[in-house]
Amino acid sequence: MASVSIVVAMARNRVIASGDKIPWDVKEDRELFRDLVKGKTAIMGHRTFDLMKPNLPGRHNVVVSSSDISYGGIVSCRNIADAIGFAQGYGDDIFVIGGASIYAQAIGLVDHMHISYIDGEYTGDKLFPEFSEKDWDVESRQRFAGFEYVVYSRKRK
């Protein structure tokens, strides 16, 4: 069965966006995201899809939306559970890539989280959901210029 992960960049105060803009520009993090998701399956909300349309090639894309999406082979599902179920049919790793409400719905369903903790605190209205680190094991931790990249695995009970 395919691994299901969240991938997110967030400030230390959990900010992931301000309106429809990411309040930082960290090239190495963008490259890390691109390399991680390339050739895999990405699940995103409708607003994230609208912002990412020019950057969708090279992977399967599933959009969680209450309306049907008609855009170059994009699949839409009504909820996150259906999106994950559908995406598993592709047979490759699945990455939930946002936005805030999709992360909140997915956090209880994923096996891993790939979090880039951007240095500093930013002002924004979109936050990554709170989670307890005691429910997760740190699989790896790497320091880059401008951010720390941490991969978490859900603890098995």
User: In the prediction, which pLDDT does 54 show?
Assistant: 66
22 burial level (CB within 10 Å; 0-12, 13-18, 19+) = buried
4-154: CATH number: 3.40.430.10
Residue 33 is inside which H or E element, if any? helix 27-37
pLDDT tens-digit map of 62-95: 999 988 877 777 889 999 999 999 999 999 999 9
Domain ranges of the chain: 4-154
Region 95-100: what's the mean pLDDT? Answer: 97
User: In the prediction, which pLDDT does 53 show?
Assistant: 76
